[in-house]
Structure 1
Amino acid sequence: MDSPRHIVHIDLDSFFVSVERKFNPSLIGKPVIIGGSADRGVVASCSYEARAFGVHSAMPTRQALKLCPHAIVIRGTHGRYSEASREVTEIIHQSVPLYQKSSVDEFYIDLSGMERFYDPYKVATELRQRVIRETGLPISFGMASCKTVAKMATNQSKPNGQLRVMPGKEREFLAPLPIGKIPGLGKNTCQKLYQYGIEKIGDLQRVDIRFLETVFGKMGVFIHETAHGIDHTEIIPHGDRKSISTEHTFDTNVNDRRTLENILVAMTEELAAKLRQENKVSSCLAIKIRYANFETHTQQQKIALTAAEHILIPGIKNLLKQAWNQHRPIRLIGVKLSDLCTGSYQINLFEDNEERIRLYQAMDNINFKFGNKTVCRAAGMEIGARTFNPFLKS
């Protein structure tokens, strides 16, 4: 029989808020919102004090301020968050043999096999204490036999806590939790499950997998396995990035071309700016579309090496035309730039001019100093400043 895995999920609590509080301790204990303007912005992050009033990420800032009028709104500074994330990554890199950085403030660590020499839970505890001690940032972790249960354990341990789900106890841990706690389970899926009287994960554990497959198709298998604490996903070692991507799940399925193109423009701008910041270029672009029934399609195209959105955006729009059946509403859309290599943007002698090159440099400098989307295309602004997380999954 195979030995159980020891997977740790680490999450920096209210990361953007915590970083801002390091620079301005007067914010401690107060409701804080990180996001855009009250007119067009959305909440990128918020403190637990603001969450107590019903504020949450991706909520329009205008709505958040109605719920919590005395909240302090901060636009946020990308450079600060990137540096703090780098500090935490370096500590983890020095401390464990295998880890995956899944976002600016989330990590998965595989301590499997270490139990022959060390207590994996003690190793994770000491790592958490070191991060708190050296960065001053609150951090939570969950430990379990797979990534999904570890992530759910982290969410149960917040704020600033830790929780271990022992091997064999996964079903017992999951059973009392609401089905909405399952990562990746959207509102529409939850609503459909509620109609069948399924509210807790324990209810799901008693449902036959064939019923879930009939109602949800392939997604039914995922729901069934997750409810039973089954997830064979491996830790992808952190190393030299070969691709960069971001995606957005809509609260309500969308079939409006202009809305989809606008969000693709905003996504592509973010990715292109990130490439230029890291001195990288891409030679392959792709989009991902997921329909309401969870059927997923991808379309990709090889291109000349570039990190310029005036080249990437037309390509992404063209891929949307090829991949999307316009009669079907979309629940998730994503952009991916891959086949990355080190290098700077190559000037096109026939299309570019000095003004365009200076424009990119100026935009990058302003956005790095004052935060993403300070300067962007008008199409990207039409989606309400930002409707997806500004910091990218890698």
Structure 2
Amino acid sequence: MLNYLAKFDKNIIKSKWNMADRNIVHMDLDSFFVSVERLKNDKLNDKPILIGGASDRGVVASCSYEARLFGVSAAMPMRMAKLLCPDALVIKGDMEEYSRYSGMVTEIIKDRAPIVEKASIDEHYLDITGMDKFFGCYQWAHELRQTITKETGLPISFGLSVNKTVAKVATNEAKPNGEKNVGKNAIRPFLNPLSIKKIPGVGTKIYQQLRSMGIETIYTLSQVPPELMQKVLGENGITIWQKSNGIDETPVVPYMERKSISTETTFDKDTIDVTYLNQVLLGMVMELAFQLREERRLTSCITVKLRYSNFDTETKQLRIPYTAFDKTLIDITKDLFQKLYTRRMLIRLIGVRFSHLVSGFEQINLFNASQEQYNLYQAMDKIRRRFGEKSLSMAAVAPKRGILIDETV
């Protein structure tokens, strides 16, 4: 097998062994939203819980393990989830509280680990390479897990291995509330019998493609010629093939929380055209909202900025429930603009800023969303990814006539 791989790309084999001495921990809070709700109300313990929009048109943002036994999963329409698990308790969710607990966990980890990457609101990667010289890496991770649970009351699982892929798979196998160590000599025996669905990055579409090729286990996938994987799935096929062979060079990127994103536009000719100004604002909000979703972030504060022709600058902001949905952000931005623009003077510059950002997966955004809205945003974002951010907009967005500057920070 090694000879064959070497013919394909010697760098793949070289990197496999170069990266084999790392110690990477993946930590994942178990059923995070549900766990926070149970801390607030212990009567919810051991009961099937659905977090998300309460109406039948809503979507499941998270669910308890008791509900998962009935086939419920995140991003599922709430109506379907209720049919599968009619006894489940539905809770709207509290993003501010979830963010607060997420921050507590992050601070505990950052105080102890040398390199930390916050992958989402409930996931962290830790590079603790070299710490085995002073204490065993597994024992260190075990004690960190105990500290997190003791100080926050939240159950958390972890996987320890030589790279991010194997560590994440190990965490998923250790759940709920468990831990698993997969050393470099145990990677193949650990991965081989698992379903290809366990590989990070293998979603429903790719899973169906691979199953149609007769590929069911990670071992079978690892034996497929990499050229064939590249032909079927493009460059992503090579990445998935490498992961099936336990190869992943992705570094742990030190955690730095971005505080805000903003954009502003300066006109070459000052304007008092309120309709046009609203159209420009709408376009700005749509671009920023798409950026939020691409970075898997949510905002809880909107600020609108105006600069008049005499260079006076005014702003107005509003704290809101966490969201990254265009409609919610557009409505609030337009309302702020109406309240802010009272002097009826010519406008030189207009801007929007989203701040108080938190990390999180796209489905965190579903507490107040319907399945139709969720599907719409997914379809729109797919088009933007393929053809560019500015390839799709609402009919009301103004063409950028007379704009000298349009800068996103």
TM-score, normalised by the number of residues in structure 2: 0.67
Could you say which structure has the larger radius of gyration?
Answer: 2
Which of 222, 244, 248 aligns to 1:227? It is 244
- Residues 67-146 of structure 1 correspond to what in structure 2 (within 5 A)? 67-146=84-163
Indicate yes or no: 2:258 matched with 1:282.
no
Read off the aligned partner of 1:192 and give its amino acid letter: Q
Percent of residue pairs bearing the same amino acid type: 42
Pick aligned residue for 1:376 from 319, 328, 343: 328
Gaps of 5+ in 2: 1-16, 267-277, 332-367, 379-409
Q: Deviations over 1:153-201 (max 9, x none)?
A: 0000000000010113212211111011111112121112112211000
Change over 3 Å in CA distance of 1:132–1:381 after alignment to 2? closer
What is aligned with 2:179?
Answer: 162
Change in Cα spacing, 1:314 to 1:5, as seen in structure 2 (3 Å) is same
Q: Deviations over 1:17-64 (max 9, x none)?
A: 000000000000000000002322111100000000000000011110
Q: Secondary structure at the match of 2:231?
A: helix
Give how far 1:281 is off: 4.2
1:314 aligns with 2:283: yes
Structure-2 separation of matches of 1:382 and 1:313: 21
Match of 1:191 in 2: 208
Q: Is the 8 A contact 2:293 2:324 kept in 1?
A: no
Q: The residue matched to 1:95 in structure 2 has which SS?
A: coil
- Give the one of 317, 320, 335 matched to 2:294: 335
**Structure 2 equivalent of residue 5 of structure 1:** 22
Q: CA deviation at 1:377?
A: 5.9
Deviations 1:368-388 (A, max 9, x none): 6xx887x92699956546469
Q: Which amino acid aligns with 1:376?
A: T
Aligned to 2:392: none
Displacement of 1:344 in angstroms is 8.5
| SS at 1:57 equivalent | coil
Change in Cα spacing, 1:311 to 1:169, as seen in structure 2 (3 Å) is farther
Separation in 1, partners of 2:177, 2:114? 24
Map 1:191-340 → 2, pairs under 5 A: 191-241=208-258, 278=259, 280-283=260-263, 313-315=282-284, 335-336=294-295
Select the residue among 26, 36, 45 that pairs with 2:62. Answer: 45
User: Could you list the runs of 5+ residues in structure 1 that have no partner in the other structure?
Assistant: 242-277, 284-301, 321-332, 390-394
Rounded Cα–Cα distance in structure 2 between residues aligned with 1:62 and 1:127: 39
Deviation at residue 86 of structure 1 after TM alignment: 0.9
State whether residues 14 and 46 of structure 1, in contact with CA within 8 Å, keep that contact through their aligned partners in structure 2. Answer: yes
- 2-structure distance, mates of 1:381, 1:196: 37
Corresponding residue SS for 1:168: helix
1:56 match? 73
Give, in angstroms, the shift of residue 317 of structure 1: 5.5
The 3-state SS of whatever aligns with 2:246 is coil
- Confirm or deny that 1:347 pairs with 2:305: yes
Distance in 2 separating the partners of 1:128 and 1:213: 39
CA contact (8 A) 2:158 2:179 kept: yes
Q: Which residue of 2 aligns with 1:270?
A: none
Tell me if 1:16 matches 2:49.
no
SS at match of 1:169: helix
- Post-superposition shift, 1:282? 2.7
Number of the residue aligned with 2:356: none
Q: Deviations over 1:306-343 (max 9, x none)?
A: xxx986651475799xxxxxxxxxxxx953599xxxx9
Opposite residue 167 of structure 1, the aligned amino acid is: K
The letter of the residue matching 2:252 is I
Q: CA RMSD in A?
A: 3.4
Taking the aligned partners of 1:344 and 1:66, their CA distance within structure 2 comes to: 37
Query: Are the structure 2 counterparts of residues 378 and 49 from structure 1 closer, same or farther at C-alpha, using a change threshold of 3 Å?
Result: farther
Distance in 2, matches of 1:19 and 1:382, equals 24
Q: CA 1:196–1:113 in 2, change beyond 3 Å: closer, same or farther?
A: same
**1 CA distance for matches of 2:330 and 2:262?**
24
C-alpha separation in 1, matches of 2:53 and 2:83: 15
Aligned CA distance change for structure 1 residues 344 and 232 (closer, same or farther; 3 Å)? same
Q: Distance in 2 between matches of 1:54 and 1:337?
A: 26
Q: CA deviation at 1:110?
A: 0.4
Mapped contact 1:40–1:385 kept (Cα < 8 A): no
* CA 313–102 in structure 1, closer or farther in 2 if over 3 Å, else same: farther
CA change 1:381–1:74 in 2 (3 A) is closer
Per the TM alignment, residue 115 of structure 1 is displaced from its structure 2 partner at its CA by: 1.4
Q: CA deviation at 1:213?
A: 1.4
